């Protein structure tokens, strides 16, 4: 019975959205009069849709993060985009690609792909970008995936480094902290 109501709810959402109506009345022939519904306020349906979309996004983020952790210890390979070895951008492209999200090949191209995010709005699933080895050069040279954000705004990242695929807190890595450039959000609610 619950499945039936879920299907009805999805149909109502679709009908309300596709026909752009403000209210939608539905009546059912049932033996239990308490199951009859009053007109549905599509504002609430839209809010529910937004919540559902946010829930789906969070599930995708959690899945991407858990999947990415499978590769901890995988060796670094310049230009690597397979489970045999990754470079930083190849790892992001591979992991997001497994969930149907296409990312460009280079970290500088990935930097241009997402939506800018301020440090106080950073969340799991965002990408974090760094300068390359030459700290005086402002070009993007490295990318990592945000795995967690602490209460103190410390950021845990997973990325492919010359030491292989690693996960660590940004505060523990002054090399990367000094090179941090920006954050980007790939997955939107």
User: For this structure, is 88 an active site residue?
Assistant: yes
Q: Which two tokens stand for residue 26?
A: 């539905």
Specify whether 168 is catalytic. no
Gap between the Cα atoms of 105 and 140, Å rounded: 13
Residue 158 tokens read as 């997973």
Q: Of 17, 113, 142, 163, which one is the catalytic site residue?
A: 142
Selecting among 17, 88, 113, 168, the annotated active-site residue is 88
Q: How many helices (H) and strands (E) does the chain have?
A: 5, 10
Q: What are the φ and ψ backbone dihedral angles of 138, each rounded to 5 degrees?
A: -90, 0
Q: Residue 84 in contact with residue 167, Cβ under 8 Å? A: no
6 classed as catalytic: no
Query: Active-site residue among 17, 113, 159, 168?
Result: 159
Q: Which residues are catalytic?
A: 88, 142, 159
């Amino acid at each position: 019975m619950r499945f039936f109501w879920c299907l009805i709810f999805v149909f109502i959402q679709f009908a309300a959205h596709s026909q752009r109506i403000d209210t939608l009345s539905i009546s059912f022939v049932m033996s239990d009069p308490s199951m009859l519904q009053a007109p549905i306020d599509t504002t609430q349906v839209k809010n529910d849709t937004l919540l559902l979309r946010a829930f789906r996004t969070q599930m995708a983020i959690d899945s991407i993060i858990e999947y990415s952790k499978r590769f901890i210890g995988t060796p670094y390979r310049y230009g690597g985009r397979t489970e045999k070895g990754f470079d930083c951008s190849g790892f992001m492209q591979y992991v997001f690609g497994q969930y149907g999200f296409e990312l460009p090949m280079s970290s500088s191209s990935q930097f241009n792909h997402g939506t800018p995010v301020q440090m106080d709005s950073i969340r799991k699933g965002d990408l974090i970008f760094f300068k390359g080895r030459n700290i005086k050069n402002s070009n993007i040279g490295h990318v990592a995936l945000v795995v967690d954000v602490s209460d103190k705004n410390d950021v845990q990242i997973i990325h492919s480094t010359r030491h292989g695929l690693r996960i660590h807190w940004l505060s523990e890595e002054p090399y990367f902290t000094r090179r941090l450039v920006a954050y980007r959000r790939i997955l939107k609610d």
